[in-house]
Structure 1
Amino acid sequence: MSLSLRTLFSTAFAVIIILLTALLSYVIGNRATDSAQTAIGSSLAAEASRMSEKLDHFMWSRSGEIEVLSKLNAFQEPVESAEVNGLLNQLKTSLPVFTWVGFLDRTGNVLASTDHILQGTNISQRPVFQEALKGTFIGDVHDAVLLSKLLQSSTGEVLQFVDVSVPVMDKQGRTSGVLAAHLSWEWSREVEASIVKPLKERLKGVEVFVVSKKDDTILLGPEALVGKRMTDAALQEARSGKSSWMIEQEHRRDSYLTGYAYGDGYLNYPGLGWTVIIRQPAEIAFAPVYQLERFILISGLLMAAVFAGIGWLLAGWISRPLRNITRTADLLSSGADVEIPSSTRFKDVEILSASLRSLVSNLTKTETKLSYMSDMALHDKLTGLPNRAALDEFLAHAVSKAKQKRTTLSFLYMDLDGFKKVNDSFGHTIGDALLQEVAFRLMDCTRDNEIVARLGGDEFVIVLHTSAGKPMQEAEIVASRIISKINQPILIIGEELRVGCSVGAAVWTPDGDDTTQTMRLADEALYISKRSGKNRITFEAAS
């Protein structure tokens, strides 16, 4: 069945462009999605970790301030209430985050406090007093109805606090009281704003959560969710001590790209186990990727239409001169330097097919045979390395070049230590495979303008271009690298083989003997290496 050239070209162009567009859209979409996931997820994880560290650092600083304050002489018996009140109010003035600070005696009576709030009240039954008797106490976020009323919350809501309390010791080292403080939880909003505001400028729809270790309660987050229990998978991952990111689905509906971090304290502050979770809806995170995919698809369809038209015009242009191909083929057969297109798919060129196939086939076979014969004459059949003939040809050019530049050639004559044992134990097939791997490793140790030649058996010669000043040092570096490479295990058909190599080296200089003498000296140095313990390099200076 013969097809119209115009139909074939326009259809083929359109189909190819559509297929390429679909492939590119799929590949680029996947790559872009992976890149977006990694970039945004890593950013969210980093911000979560930074916020977690800020929260822990803040609590460490505040607990340290309370502990330092408790060491002052003003808290030693007898207690000067006026002085203590002054210190506590000064602390609150300097750090407004301390909404209430009080000094309690050993029975829980409030002896002094900021703004005299709760002064004279006994709070011995509260954890802030009881736990402080055992040591430094830091309590998680909680409501304090009484303090909220006394402090008159501007919003009318019950205030939330974090407790910090430490025992006060007298001069004899006995507990004489407790210094307790309530920190307003509102400071966490400042930490949130300092991190989330710039993050939201870059990423839309970002939500931040701080979750308590106790009951998985949301301490900080969107107002509608504060106080509720979180069950996200990211929370469980964070509790294992990880700080990373993941894609999670909430209630089988919305997907989120989520970064998380676990607060494990700061320096000597053990932390309260708060988990920071920062997430962004996946549809927002990947919106640029979806836009890119749509752009590629639309562009591809437009390009398919354009190229279909181009194919239609191109086919009409090509079909007119097809009859001239016969005359061009005859010129090519007679030796003229011309280039012709060929095709056997259309009626118009069926007359030319036999002539073109014969001509191209004959030329290709002749060229392939000549190339093969030349290649076989200069390369070792087993390893593919240059043979002695190729080495001689290389040396003719290398010597001429070295004389012009006044540089040297370093010869490394080497053979394998333990190769006969491999051949005897595993057979020649394994031995041949070993030689092929050795050839590969030798090529890996040399530069493109140098040569590795196989002389036969397990003997190889490497010729290096070296400087006039330090040829032996440069050759020794390469030889050491070769010995190290050869000493590495070689895995062949499940067998781990080990061989070594001995190297003899000699340096040819433009003022010295010919390269044949230098190679002989390298060969003699090789046998010195083998007699000296093998797996080493020996230099023999050229005379």
Structure 2
Amino acid sequence: MQLRTLLTLVVGLIGTVVFVIVALVFQNNLNTYQAETSEHAVRVRAQALGSFLTRTLYEEWRQLEASAAEFSRADLPALRERLDALAGNPDKISWMGVASPEGRILASTGGLLEGQSVAERPWFQQGLAGPFAGDVHEAVLLARLLQNDTSEPLRFVDFSAPIVGADGQVMGVLGAHVNWRWVRNVAAEAARQLELDAFVVNREGTVILATAPIDEASAALPSFEAARRGVTSNFTETWGDGTAYHSFTVPNLTYADMPSFGWALVARLEESAFDLSEQSFQRQMWAAGAVLWFAVLVIFALVAGILIRPLRRLSAALLSQSRGEPTAYIREHRRTAESQVLSEALARFQASGPGGDSGSSG
């Protein structure tokens, strides 16, 4: 076996072992990176979804608060017309009304509940003291008055704010019932854009909003327990559908100075969401590594051939000289120390041997 072939095989074997070791280390680091990337992705998307949802509600709450301040300078007989204009889209604001300090509805959208008492309703009681935002609840007084095209009961989020007169006295309370279906649609659309599943949990630990089906087994997962305890956490869990997800818990959904609803958010991202890109990256890296390894091996074989060629010529000449066979002149090689030694030995051998010039006489 030629020296170049032997060296190439040895280098190839060593290179293969090194390549496999590096590949295994790379694969392990890639798996760690993939897990960290997934956790980061679900965390950032969950926080973005929570911020978007609460900011949307915050804008409605701030608008109602600003409207309450304007009502302090308005005549009460004109309230219904103004309320109809403020409520706008009935799919969003199902009802808006103004209650007297005693809790009787003075004016409302569509005239609903006018003259009735809401003194026992939380939105009125809290609204007397200051701006209020209340948790989702089923319709009570409006259940039979508002049209409901589905079998699902009407549910609302309550906003209210005091109407304060020029003398600083409370003249009444402006209240609004935000349709929960509208809130749910806002969350579902945002979750769809973020390619995320979202679940909102209230103070009692009940899932009040879900953008994907959920069963009792999934609602008992550690991520939901963390939400109920108000803890920010990352999880990798197998849900009731048998699929592994990366989950993140946002313990308190609120925005700026809006009163807290007592909601927590659990968001999940399928563990395999990044598999295609990861597999594509792995294939590219394996292909690039194999091409690089083959290129290095070829280059080594070429370089080794260039370095070994003089040694092969010198060793062949020495063998011929030792057999007494005539040898052609080979110029002195100084490319490497070994070729220089062999070149010098050949020169001395040729000068002293039978075929050398010094052995001939005239």
Aligned runs of 1:195-274 on 2, under 5 Å? 195-200=190-195, 206-212=196-202, 214-225=203-214, 229=219, 231-233=221-223, 236=226, 246-250=234-238, 254-263=243-252, 265-274=254-263
Paired AA for residue 19 in structure 1 = V
- Counterpart contact for 1:263–1:275, Cα < 8 Å: yes
Q: Secondary structure at the match of 2:157?
A: strand
Mapped contact 2:132–2:161 kept (Cα < 8 A):
yes
Alpha-carbon contact 1:259-1:278 (below 8 Å) kept: yes
Q: Distance in 1 between matches of 2:58 and 2:215?
A: 24
Alpha-carbon separation, structure 2, partners of 1:174 and 1:57: 30
1:143 aligned partner: 138
Amino acid at match of 1:339: T
Secondary structure, aligned partner of 2:151: coil
Q: Distance in 2 between matches of 1:305 and 1:267?
A: 60
Q: Secondary structure at the match of 2:86?
A: helix
In the TM superposition, what whole-angstrom CA distance separates every residue of 1:482-522 from its partner, at most 9, and x where no partner exists? xxxxxxxxxxxxxxxxxxxxxxxxxxxxxxxxxxxxxxxxx
* In structure 2, distance between residues paired with 1:92 and 1:103: 12
Judged with a 3 Å threshold, the aligned counterparts in structure 2 of structure 1 residues 282 and 91 are, in CA distance, closer, same or farther, namely same
How far is the alpha carbon of 1:101 from its aligned partner? 0.8
User: What is the distance in 2 between the residues matched to 1:31 and 1:158?
Assistant: 51
Residue 277 of structure 2 aligns with an amino acid whose one-letter code is P
Partner of 1:87: 82
Residue number among 278, 289, 293 corresponding to 2:267 in the alignment = 278
Q: Distance in 2 between matches of 1:319 and 1:132?
A: 96
Equivalent pair of 1:169/1:177 in contact (CA under 8 Å): yes
CA shift, 1:6, in A, is: 9.6
Distance 1:250 1:294 in 2: 28
Aligned to 1:531: none
Give the letter aligned to residue 108 of structure 2: S
CA RMSD of aligned residues (A): 4.7
How far does residue 169 in structure 1 lie from its aligned partner after superposition? 3.9
CA displacement 1:133-163 (0-9 Å, x = unmatched): 3432211122226535432233332232111
Q: Contact between 1:234 and 1:246, CA under 8 Å: does it hold in 2?
A: no
Residue 55 (str. 1) matches residue 53 (str. 2): yes
Q: Is the 8 A contact 1:238 1:261 kept in 2?
A: no
Query: Residue 303 and residue 175 in structure 1: after superposition, are their counterparts in 2 closer, same or farther (change >3 A)?
Result: closer
Deviation at 1:248, TM superposition (A): 1.8
TM-score (norm 1): 0.48
Query: 1:122 is matched with which residue?
Result: 117
Aligned residues: 327
CA–CA distance in 1 between the matches of 2:42 and 2:70? Answer: 43
Show the 5 A alignment for 1:432-511: none
2:260 and 2:161 map into 1 onto residues whose CA distance is 16
Q: Contact 1:209/1:221 (CA < 8 Å) preserved in 2?
A: yes
Q: Which whole-Å CA distance do the structure 2 matches of 1:293 and 1:62 have between them? A: 48
Give the Cα separation in 2 of the matches to 1:123 and 1:112: 12
1 CA distance for matches of 2:11 and 2:227? 51
Q: Which residue of 1 aligns with 2:28?
A: 30
Q: Quick one: distance in 2 between partners of 1:57 and 1:314?
A: 67
Q: Name the counterpart of 2:17.
A: 19
Deviation, 1:309, is 11
User: Secondary structure at 2:66's aligned position in 1?
Assistant: helix
Q: Following the alignment from structure 1 to structure 2, what is the Cα–Cα distance between the partners of residues 117 and 10?
A: 91
- For residue 57 of structure 1, report the CA deviation from its aligned partner: 2.4
Task: Measure how far apart 1:93 and its partner are.
Answer: 1.9
How many Å separate the matches in 2 of 1:173 and 1:315?
Answer: 96
Which deviates more, 155-164 or 317-326? Answer: 317-326
AA aligned to 1:236 is A
2:174 maps to amino acid: L
Q: What's the counterpart of residue 337 of structure 1?
A: 334
Query: Contact 1:137/1:165 (CA < 8 Å) preserved in 2?
Result: yes
Distance 1:137 1:174 in 2: 18
2-structure distance, mates of 1:154, 1:172: 45
CA deviation after TM superposition for structure 1 residue 128, in Å: 2.0
- Larger relative contact order (C-alpha < 8 A, sep ≥ 6)? 2
Q: Which amino acid aligns with 2:175?
A: A
* Matching residue of 1:112: 107
Q: Distance in 1 between matches of 2:207 and 2:12?
A: 56
Task: Give, in whole Å, the separation in 1 of the partners of 2:111 and 2:338.
Answer: 102
**Letter matched to residue 66 of structure 2:** V
1:300 Cα offset (Å): 7.2
Letter in 1 for 2:197: E
**1:89 Cα deviation from its structure 2 partner:** 0.9
CA contact (8 A) 1:49 1:261 kept: yes
Q: Is the 8 A contact 1:91 1:98 kept in 2?
A: no
Q: Which amino acid aligns with 1:248?
A: T
Unaligned runs of 5+ in 2: 322-330, 346-362
Deviation string 1:149-188 (CA, Å, 9 cap, x unpaired) is 4322333322321111223345554444332210112333
Q: Is the 8 A contact 1:135 1:166 kept in 2?
A: yes
Residues 493-532 of structure 1: pairs in structure 2 closer than 5 A: none
